[in-house]
Amino acid sequence: MASLNAGKAEIVNWARKVFPEGATCLDVGACDGKWSDLLGDYFQMDAVEIFEPNIKEHGLEQKYKTVYNLDIIDYKYYWYDLIIFGDVIEHMTVQNAQKVLEYAYPRCKDMIIAIPYLWSQPEIYGNKWELHIQNDLTDKIFMERYKGFENILKYNDYAYYHKKP
């Protein structure tokens, strides 16, 4: 399922202020390529998408420099200026999400983590990875589970975090 639109414009403005044009960006869980639509003219973007039908259905290979069809926990990389986890970690176990974020932390200048709060979701579109495993996320729970981040934009049911400076 595509991510919510709440806050996207603000995050795009933030990213354009923080990073120079042409910086590298990894979109984790690209789904329909929304982040490429918003930032692809500014960043050099790669994507990781676990559900192969999304790659074909949404033309991700035309939206990104490189698309990796695998689980982010299996992707080993050296560096990206920005890594976007847009509506991703709620689909992972706490342990796997912690591993992925700990791996990413020293391999980027900054990252954006967008999460819905208290949002249950079953498997949809024949995609077993759409299930929300962490459907209990709130600001407090996110901060307890994931160290080294701060909130940069918060709504009642959705928020964005990034690395603490």
Q: Quote the mean pLDDT of the chain.
A: 89
Confirm if 24 and 43 have CB atoms less than 8 A apart: yes
CATH 3.40.50.150 fits 8-163, yes or no: yes
Neighbours of 108 (CB within 10 A): 18
> What percent of the chain clears pLDDT 90, i.e. is strictly above it?
68
Q: What is the mean pLDDT of residues 85-98?
A: 91
Q: Please, which pLDDT band fits residue 121 given cuts at 50, 70 and 90?
A: low
Question: Residue 87's CB: how many other CB atoms inside 10 A?
Answer: 23
Residue of higher predicted confidence among 53 and 38:
38
What pTM, to 2 d.p., does this model score? 0.91
Q: What are phi and psi of 130, to 5 degrees?
A: -80, -15
pLDDT score recorded for residue 97: 95
Model confidence at 130: pLDDT above 80: no
